[in-house]
Amino acid sequence: MSTATPFKAYGFSWSRVIALCRKETFQILRDPSSILIAFVLPAVLLFIFGYGVNLDGTRTALGLVVQDDSPAARDFAAALTAAQAFEIREVYSVKEADAALLDSKIRGYIVIPVDFGRNLARRMPPGVFVGTDAAEPNSATLVAGNVQGVWNLWQQQWAAEHRTTAMARLEIESRSWYNPSAESRNFLIPGSIVIIMTILGALLTALVVAREWERGTMEALLAAQVTRVEILLSKLIPYYALAIFAMVTCMVVAVGIMGVPFRGSLAVLLLVSTLFLGGTLGMGLLISTVTRNQFNAAQTALNLGYMPAVMLSGFVYEIASMPKWVQAVSYALPARYFMSSLQTLFQAGVIWSALWANLAFLALATVVFIGLTLHKTRESLE
């Protein structure tokens, strides 16, 4: 069947590809939104992400109910108030604390009970109560952990000052490789670049072919002496160039303005980005070819690009912690490999052992998506 397709006879020609690319490029340049895509949008979004998404906890608001007047109780309350992680608000009753917790005014509260000092002196559990607002489990975990930390430290100090038990001193010397300050920004900004590029890439090409089908110009092209490969290349190349401009903007903002360290090589970054864009632009083309309708294409591209890139790519949620079947789904997302590559390139440098598998998967995604698009373009003609 395929040997009988009419355009086989004309063969592939680069001059036609170039001519078609020129036409596509003019179309892109004529639309003012192209400037928006390549320069304004990536820069603005990256700025917003850089300042807006911050996982390094600031001070958490906690209520404190002190029912005991012993020196020990006052000392522990002072230790809590001095702790960096909290913003302590004195509350006068548990009831009041409960109400504030219900209204999300505080993230948790601590009760130092009446006989705290007495029990402590007798080495009995002093019954300190910590209540957290676990409707937000992340902050609840943080609060419980931090209060525990302050409590352990205070106990040791109090014991050291008031008794002479020798404490075993086990110290942890922790170092964060690649990101010595362990700033969340240094991995969130490369991650944000992945999200921006994923949606941008899928959206750019998702609409173009669909628009041609909608307007009937696709049939015209196919009826003319143009092969499928030529048409696809003429769609891929100009949009690839546009996406690379967007990527450059991202890098300038991230490294030049926001000061995120980049330890990899630009050549390797270009290679990774090219393979990633091959997969993503290819996915957009496939969506476009299958739906042949801009409205549905846009919806599909947004659905496939937007939430999965945020949730399943390892942006903030660790993939290894997800159930196996969810991890299996994440293997199908080019964003996952781009995320891992950028994290390595930005913070560690060119470490081939960490990169090659990502590159292989990205190359595979490129081949699969573009191959499927080619296949679908033929199918739709018959």
The interface with another protein within residues 150-169 (CB under 8 A) comprises 151-152, 155, 159, 165-169
Q: Smaller CB distance to another protein: residue 108 or 279?
A: 108
Which one among 296, 359, 376, 380 touches another protein, defined by CB under 8 A?
296
CB of 249 to another protein, least distance (A): 14
Q: Smaller CB distance to another protein: residue 29 or 135?
A: 135
For 236-255, letters b (16+ CB in 10 Å) and e give bbbbbebbebbbbbbbebbe
CB of 14 to another protein, least distance (A): 28
Backbone angles phi, psi at 112, to 5 degrees: -100, 110
- Does residue 328 interact with another protein by CB under 8 A? no
Q: CA 100 from chain center: how many Å?
A: 33
Interacting positions 164-223 with another protein (CB under 8 A): 165-180, 182-184, 186-187, 192, 195-196, 199-200, 203, 207, 211
Interacting positions 107-146 with another protein (CB under 8 A): 120, 123-141, 144-145
Residue 376, class by beta-carbon neighbours within 10 Å (0-12 exposed, 13-18 middle, 19+ buried)? middle
Taking CB atoms within 8 Å and a gap of at least 24, the contacts of 372-378 are 372/286, 373/232, 373/282, 373/285, 373/286, 373/289, 374/228, 374/229, 374/232, 376/286, 376/289, 376/290, 377/228, 377/231, 377/232, 377/289, 378/2, 378/5, 378/228
Stretch 62-101: interaction string toward another protein, x if CB under 8 A: ---------------------------------------x
- Does residue 289 interact with another protein by CB under 8 A? no
Q: Site for another protein (CB under 8 A): how many residues?
A: 114
Q: Smaller CB distance to another protein: residue 4 or 168?
A: 168
Among candidate residues 237, 244, 242, the one with its CA nearest the CA of residue 193: 244
Stretch 25-64: interaction string toward another protein, x if CB under 8 A: ------x-x--xx---x--xx--xx-xxxxxxxx------
List residues bridging with 89 in a β-sheet. Answer: 63
